[in-house]
């Protein structure tokens, strides 16, 4: 009987130790990457912007690495105090109508220049058409009437660069829009590309660039929840946001 009790106690102790180890392995609240996800209304009827922002938030929030806050008003960029709470700004969709103020533009640029992160996804790069420096921040920018894509379909994407964002990834297929003819001449590091029948060119779809002391990640995937919840896309979102924020991706 004593041996049975000892065995039960040992088993209980092992379970408690495993639980404690798992708790210790989880990032503490203050150690999590603080993400400001800024979403907004797309005036064209091509995207469900709330679905896009919510599914992107879900992808990040499902990992203990991130603490995500969502704001549907770009006016938050006017407050340096508010921005100071975050490690990375993530743009999913903006209203391409009224632009932001000069102060908001300056705050966004300074946020990245001083060493923090910027991550832009899908059509969010079409924001602020009159603001040239935003295109440099994105590395490449969607320009209405010039950029485009063929019919949405399953296409093959190539992982062309070994990088913390693409660690362990292989070429993959995804059902999404293959963006083409994004505009800009800033130097970029292409991580994922695809051959477009629409442009007859190999198009960069995930790429990075430095901006001051900070890091920018542009992910052109993500038309809707089906694309965002693709397993490869989820890795690109999580690793892309983490790398933009910290310059590395933990195992």
Residue 114 within a domain: yes
pLDDT more than 70, % of the chain: 84
Q: Give the 3-state secondary structure of residue 109.
A: helix
Q: Give the 3-state secondary structure of residue 186.
A: coil
Provide CB contacts within 8 A for 2, sequence distance 6+.
none
Residue 21 within a domain: no
Contact (CB, 8 A) for 87 and 246: yes
Dist CA 155 CA 11 (whole Å): 51
Provide CB contacts within 8 A for 187, sequence distance 6+.
209
Residue 68 within a domain: yes
pLDDT the model gives residue 31: 86
The pair of three-digit structure tokens given for residue 54, joined into one six-digit string: 């919510």
CATH number at residue 234: 3.40.50.880
Residue 7 within a domain: no
**pLDDT bucket at 40, cuts 50 / 70 / 90:** confident
Cα dist from 49 to 54, 56, 237, whole Å = 8, 11, 17
Give the count of domains, the chain: 1
Is pLDDT larger for residue 233 or for residue 3? Answer: 233
pTM of the model: 0.86
Segments forming the whole domain that contains residue 155: 33-246
Residue 47 within a domain: yes
CA dihedral 211, 212, 213, 216 (to 10 degrees): -10
Residue 3 within a domain: no
Residue 198 within a domain: yes
pLDDT the model gives residue 130: 87
Residue 18 within a domain: no
Dist CA 121 CA 113 (whole Å): 20
The pair of three-digit structure tokens given for residue 30, joined into one six-digit string: 């203050």
């Amino acid at each position: 009987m004593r041996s049975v009790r000892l065995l039960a106690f040992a088993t209980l102790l092992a379970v408690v130790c495993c639980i404690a180890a798992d708790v210790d392995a989880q990032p503490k609240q203050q150690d999590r990457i603080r993400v400001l996800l800024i979403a907004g209304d797309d005036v064209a009827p091509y995207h469900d912007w709330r679905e896009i922002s919510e599914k992107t938030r879900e992808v990040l929030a499902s990992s203990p690495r991130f603490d995500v806050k969502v704001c549907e008003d770009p006016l938050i960029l006017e407050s340096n105090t508010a921005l100071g709470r975050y490690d990375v700004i993530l743009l999913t969709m903006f209203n391409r109508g009224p632009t932001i103020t000069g102060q908001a533009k300056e705050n966004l640029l300074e946020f990245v220049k001083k060493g923090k992160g910027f991550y832009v996804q899908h059509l969010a790069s079409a924001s602020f058409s009159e603001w040239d420096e935003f295109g440099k921040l994105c590395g490449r920018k969607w320009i209405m009437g010039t950029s485009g894509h063929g019919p949405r379909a399953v296409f093959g994407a190539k992982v062309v660069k070994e990088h913390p964002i693409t660690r362990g990834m292989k070429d993959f297929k995804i059902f999404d829009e293959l963006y083409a003819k994004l505009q800009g001449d800033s130097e970029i590091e292409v991580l994922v590309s695809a051959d477009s029948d629409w442009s007859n060119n190999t198009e960069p779809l995930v790429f990075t660039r430095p901006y001051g002391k900070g890091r920018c990640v542009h992910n052109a995937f993500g038309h809707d929840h089906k694309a965002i919840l693709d397993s490869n896309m989820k890795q690109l979102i999580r690793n892309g946001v983490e790398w933009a924020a910290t310059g590395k991706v933990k195992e």
